[in-house]
Amino acid sequence: MPTTQTRYHPRSIILLSLSIALGLMLALMLPSHTVLAASDGQVAPPPDQIPMSDDACLECHSQPDMALPLPNGDILNLTVNETHHKLSIHGRNGYSCVQCHTDIDGFPHERFAAQSQREATVYFSQACANCHDDVDHLYQTGDHAKLIAEGDLNAATCVDCHGSHKLEEFGGSRTKIAQSCQKCHDPIYQQYQDSIHGEALINEFNPDVPTCIDCHENHANAGPNEHLDFHLFSPELCAKCHADEEMMGRYGINTDVFESYVADFHGTTITLFEQVAPDQETNKPVCIDCHGVHNILAPTDENSTVIKQNLLATCQRCHEDATPNFTDSWLSHYPPDAENHTIVFLVNLFYTFLIPGTLSIMGVFVATDIWRKIRRR
């Protein structure tokens, strides 16, 4: 039985192609204030509630090399890349220029009060709180906001981390987070990227290793300069990962690190210090005193501060008179066994039987002595 084939007239194919092309052109020509649902649950206002459309703003601000000289001599760039804005998280969700620039409702604009480019950045960052008030509340408790309140305008603002017109979400990228902090803290970033944590994050994109916000938080950021207890409670930061059996099991790392530290002399004194004087600085060593902070290396690395040949120098930071055999008393964070610290293991094993055996014999002796006295009576 012959197969019936449907034939399309060439004129129909041409009309269909023109319809598709026209539809794509209309989609691309949609104004940026089109009402769309935002990712945070908010919705952009309808066009009739916006004092100025983006098209009106871009008539001037899309021009190249548009700039404003500021009183201190800085040049504030006023050119906006329309593509960057439309592809940003704000543009994709239909938010318009004047929803951030709330002081603009027409042309000409009011005189700009910022004296420098940095003042302008701090000023524009305040607009973020209009929609992100919960995040702004956290930010105001952090060190960055406190420094700005004290007059240090070099501290990071929302715009410094997230951008402005080309605003992007971090999207769970921990590498982007570290690179964002690098903008201001480059010397520390250089140490971090060469550390065991940084190499695993930046080169291998390992999501398990800590990045900046795991220790310092993000919006409610904190650091050792403002918090005396940061040093004292830093072992708890390390324990978030190194006491996690599931995470450490993926890399064959012993999870007794934290417990063995708390059990030795250093850890015991720190634990007592936390209870007695949690608001004071301690002179007892914690994890970062031996392993480093941003420059932590693997214990097998030849430059590690805890490898055998470098360990004495590390101990001498606190114990200036330490001799070469001083480090032999440290058993590292691994419990003694037949392979590691054999002598200590055998001594522990000997006393494991000696002490209970001695006490048992003494108990039998006392019991028989009492029985003998009772019989005599």
Predicted local distance difference test score (pLDDT) of residue 253: 86
Cβ(47)–Cβ(53) below 8 Å: yes
Query: What does the block give as tokens for 13?
Result: 């194919």
Per the document, the length of the chain is 377
Q: What does the pLDDT read at residue 11?
A: 55
Which tokens sit at 361? 């014999």
Predicted confidence pLDDT, tens digits, the chain (377 residues): 444 444 445 555 555 555 555 544 443 443 333 322 333 444 445 545 666 788 888 889 999 889 999 999 999 999 999 999 888 989 888 888 888 888 887 788 888 888 999 999 999 998 999 899 999 999 999 999 999 999 999 999 999 999 888 887 787 788 999 999 999 999 999 999 999 999 999 999 998 999 999 999 889 988 776 555 777 788 888 989 998 999 999 988 888 887 788 778 888 888 887 788 776 777 788 889 999 999 999 988 999 999 988 999 999 998 899 898 888 877 777 777 787 778 888 898 899 999 999 999 999 999 999 999 898 88
CA distances (Å), 274 to each of 231, 253, 265, 290, 341, in order? Answer: 11, 27, 14, 19, 31
- Residue 216 and residue 74: Cα distance in Å, rounded? 33
Task: Look at residue 21 in the predicted model and tell me its pLDDT.
Answer: 54
Q: CA 172, CA 304: separation in Å to the nearest integer?
A: 31
pLDDT of 18: 56
This prediction's pTM = 0.72
CA distances for 75 relative to 78, 149, 265, angstroms: 9, 25, 59
Distance CA 273, CA 289 (A): 16
What is the reported pLDDT for 38?
35
Cβ distance 76 to 59 under 8 Å?
no
